[in-house]
Chains A and B, each alone.
Chain A
Amino acid sequence: MSILSSGSFWAFVGVVAGIYTILALGLQVQFGFAGLLNFGQVAFMAIGAYTMAILVVKEGWSTWLAAPLAVVAAAAGGLFLGLFSLRLRADYFAIVTIAFSEIVRYVATNETSLTGGSQGTIALGPIGTASQYNGQWSRFEGRVQHAFGFSSSDATMLAIVWTVAVVLLALTWLAMRTPWGRVLRAIRDDEDAAASLGKNTFAYKLQALALGAALAGIAGLFYAWEFSFFSPDDFQPLLTFFAWMILLLGGLGRVWAVPVGATVFGFIFAGTRFLNFAPFTWFASDQRAYLRLIIVGLIILLLVLVRPQGLLGNKREMVLE
């Protein structure tokens, strides 16, 4: 049980919850506010992380130039996906978005010369060298740690990720109170009504998709910096489903429900690592990994069955239909 009392472990859980908050916030914009059933959110995370790593390692760019461009690339991915799929029926749109995320993963796995292939970012540089994309980031983290007197680099990362997450949450909260945000929610509730009032619903939905994709791109950047290495396997569809679970755990159509959902998810996911009591001790540790995902799946099922507006959601604002 020693790991449970270790600060760095809980800091890690907190960092992951912060990254998931940003990822699921994108989904909240797309689904909770615009009603778009995006099941390919992880693709934009992958585009963000890979764009940054490739520009830094292969092109020698500064991290501070590469990172914003990576977010733009993720948003552009959202625009591209939306342009040819937003006119589809909701069920076809959902399928096409999953397909898109799998295509991105296939390309990342197989275009070895661009992405390092299945070996991951370690193979980004010339053969025989182990490439690193986070040198500048680590120095920045070190300066922040020194300036604010954080006890460890884990604590520093925790503070940075959550600062960014809170800023993004606040910006999204404000954006949803602008006329733009109100039109978005009007489209979600009745697209024909919004269109009849002269709103270009396609453009609004496209913007929501791109904005959510940009948020996923930011989550991808922090994912890359936190783990110092990633490969296409990190961007399985499972991650998108985790984000959906966070959305449901928190509540639909509410910005501040997202960090609550992500934190609960973080505790469930980290907590289930320590199922070291019967009946879980009957299983080997690799089998317990399967058990964790069974629990995640059961929670999704239970939420859909029992509380379709999410734990903190407002039934009048939005219910999962």
Chain B
Amino acid sequence: MFLQLVANGLVTGSVYAIAAVGVSLVYGILRLVNFAYGDMMAFGALIAYGVDGPLHQSMIVAALAGMAATAALALALDVVLWKPLRARRAGFMSLFLASIGLALVLRQALLLAAGSQPRSYRVNPYRVFVLGSVRLSEQQLIAVAAAAATIVAVGLFLTLTTVGRVLRAMADDRALAAVAGIDVGRATRVAWLISGLLAGLAGVLAALVEYSFDPNFGFQLLLPVFAAVVLGGIGSAYGALAGGLALGVAQEVSTWSGFAGGVNPVYKPVVAFAVLAVALMIRPQGFFGQARVG
């Protein structure tokens, strides 16, 4: 039972981790805590649903379409919203509040376009794989594998490629990077592109793992994702991975009956925040974040 809970936690945590990397990346470059990220995930999941259901494409094609559409949305939003805000040197508060406004618009637009009814992809949730004492569905295994592959890919991209190094330089010091001749606008678009792709992927995987989803589900995932980002230290990709996995496992294991009778499963989201609160009291900058001077 305990191992099963850990495995379930790793599955949930994988989805959190992908989304957390996407949030963290944009924060590193733009200092934007993107409150609309959950709704971007829902957008990707719904586009994939449209391709999977009515268009009868395979789930892989559907997922890729969802990711591409979400990335396109992220780039479009940069042009119409975030770029003008940067132009007037908007600080953290303006950006955060704007992302709240955007979240409202996006979610209600999704509800308007797609309706609030729950829906599922055309997958078989009863195909189960047994690994020792742990049973995982095909979708759960796919989520873990996709998360692992994605995080490694993003990690390698950030460390090995020139664009990746540019992004890290900008996260360190945007002004200095601009002075050094880096095309800041192009690098920002790259960050949004990756963040959008990750949002789409996280949305599709979350919908697969939860099996049934509706346009509101992204917002429900947002706060645990934020908790994972903060836990890992905002702006750190590997921190986001560790934060996501730790949070997913903590949520599931807290319900284990061997653990003082276990927490009522309805309180799983509360467990995420309790972990976050304790972690912030010990290390106010997050576990992988750097303490800021000043």
A88 in complex: contacting residue of B100, B104, B284, CB < 8 Å: B284
**Total count of chain A residues near the partner, CB < 8 A:** 43
B266 in complex: contacting residue of A102, A110, A300, A301, CB < 8 Å: A110
- Is residue A283 contacting chain B, with contact meaning CB distance below 8 A? yes
- Is residue B226 contacting chain A, with contact meaning CB distance below 8 A? yes
Contact B104 A241 (CB under 8 A): yes
B104 in complex: contacting residue of A85, A106, A287, A294, CB < 8 Å: A294
- Is residue B111 contacting chain A, with contact meaning CB distance below 8 A? yes
Q: Which chain A residues lie closer than 8 Å to B92 at the CB level?
A: 90-91, 321
Contact B277 A96 (CB under 8 A): yes
Q: Which chain A residues lie closer than 8 Å to B81 at the CB level?
A: 301, 305
Q: Which chain A residues lie closer than 8 Å to B108 at the CB level?
A: 290-291, 293-294, 297
Contact A294 B270 (CB under 8 A): no
Contact B112 A37 (CB under 8 A): no
Contact B101 A106 (CB under 8 A): no
- Is residue B90 contacting chain A, with contact meaning CB distance below 8 A? yes
Interface string of B273-294 (1 = CB under 8 A from A): 1001100110011000000100
Q: Which chain B residues lie closer than 8 Å to A305 at the CB level?
A: 81, 84-85, 88, 98
Interface string of B176-214 (1 = CB under 8 A from A): 000000000000000000000000000000000000000
A residues sitting closer than 8 Å to B (CB atoms) are 37, 39, 84-85, 87-92, 94-96, 98-100, 102-103, 106-107, 109-110, 238, 241, 244, 248, 283, 287, 290-291, 293-294, 296-301, 304-305, 308, 320-321
Q: Beyond the given A37-B96, A39-B100, A110-B266, please list 13 additional residue pairs across the A-B interface where CB-CB is below 8 A.
A: A84-B280, A89-B285, A92-B280, A102-B223, A106-B266, A106-B269, A241-B100, A244-B100, A248-B97, A293-B104, A297-B101, A301-B101, A320-B90
Q: List 10 A-B contacts (CB under 8 A).
A: A89-B292, A95-B33, A99-B226, A99-B227, A106-B270, A300-B101, A305-B98, A308-B88, A308-B90, A320-B93
